[in-house]
Amino acid sequence: MALVSGGILLTGSTGFVGAATLRALLTTVQARRVRLLVHRRTPEIVGGDGVRLVPADLGQPSSLHGICDGVETVVHLAARIGGDEETCQLVNHHGTAALLAEARRAGVRRILALSTAAVYGDGVHRGPTEDQLDPRPVSPTSRSRYDAERLVRAAGGVVLRPMFITGPGDTWFLPTLLDLVRALGAWVDDGRAWLSTIRVEHLGTVIATAATRTPLTPGGVYHATDPCPVRVRDLVTRHANNPLPAESISLDEAERRLPAPFTPRQLRLLFTDHWYDSSRLWRTLDLPEPGGGTGCGRSCPACRSRVADG
């Protein structure tokens, strides 16, 4: 894999994934080659290390002028999560369009953007590859991120789609899962659902590697999850501080019991199968798989599928 030698522009460096990516980048490249788009906050990791900060706002396209000058690679992680349709479209769709226009004007050679497997929308998802499931986003966030995806891919950029991201700074996935189990006082379908997850530090390494090497296919999309999904019961058991429930109820019963402020969509998202085949990413980047690359034997559906195919 060829090493990319030019400058890197990183957006979203103060976010959950962005901070982990910045740490990974600074162990991979010289700091003077990293430029950060900053909006309201400055990354805590920055301080006298040569990283260049450039103030700009994706919601104000005029502020982006010149931001890509001298840059070879754009790593676009910034996104508006939550909010109404207009706000999400302004930042995620139109902001990405403005950034891509600047990248094109400046002659940027490579673009890597973070999206989400939530663009697939509702339904049970059991191990599809990137080519087997058509996106059907249902929320303002997912719709606008999918619109941004299409712009990035049309420009020859690469899109990564993680699902559930864990680790220090996770304020949504595990907290919501644990709170839901506690609020229901029961497992849903015995906690049997399989979910695709990835630790934030692993995702940061994946993004930094993809940004500084050249193996990923221009215009391509990759599932950025751990190779093996994990059961809801195992996740909760591993992280819960409260006594685990003894009762198990059906998804329908859980929806009848569901207290505010939880939503039926959250319930279905967290307690039905949502896992994705990520073998294309790990094979292409040639990175060690989390957990030593040994998988989990035959206990998860991804490993069972690989055994059956092999």
Q: What integer pLDDT is reported at residue 41 of this predicted model?
A: 72
Q: What integer pLDDT is reported at residue 294 of this predicted model?
A: 46
Mean pLDDT of 237-242: 91
Task: Provide, rounded to the nearest whole percent, the portion of the chain with pLDDT above 70.
Answer: 92
Q: What integer pLDDT is reported at residue 295 of this predicted model?
A: 53
- Per-residue pLDDT reduced to its tens digit, 146-177: 999 999 999 999 999 999 999 999 999 999 99
Mean pLDDT of 114-129: 97
Mean pLDDT of 288-300: 65
Task: Provide, rounded to the nearest whole percent, the portion of the chain with pLDDT above 90.
Answer: 81
> What's the mean pLDDT when you consider all of the chain?
91
Nearest CA among 233, 123, 242, 237 for reference residue 188: 233
Contact 144, 92 (CB under 8 A): yes
Mean pLDDT of 139-152: 98
Q: What integer pLDDT is reported at residue 29 of this predicted model?
A: 81
Mean pLDDT of 1-28: 86
Lowest-pLDDT choice from 22-36, 162-176, 197-211: 22-36
Mean pLDDT of 229-258: 95
Q: What integer pLDDT is reported at residue 22 of this predicted model?
A: 94
Nearest CA among 69, 77, 106 for reference residue 208: 77
- Per-residue pLDDT reduced to its tens digit, 73-110: 999 999 999 999 999 999 999 999 999 999 999 999 99
Q: What integer pLDDT is reported at residue 49 of this predicted model?
A: 63
pLDDT bucket at 302, cuts 50 / 70 / 90: confident
Instruction: Domains for the chain: give ranges and CATH numbers.
Output: 7-163+199-225+276-294 (3.40.50.720)
| 58 HSE (CA, 13 A, CB side) | 25
Contact 270, 195 (CB under 8 A): yes
Of residues 38 and 2, more confidence is placed in 38
Lowest-pLDDT choice from 27-36, 239-248, 262-271, 281-290: 27-36
- Per-residue pLDDT reduced to its tens digit, 213-225: 878 999 999 999 9
Q: What integer pLDDT is reported at residue 288 of this predicted model?
A: 82
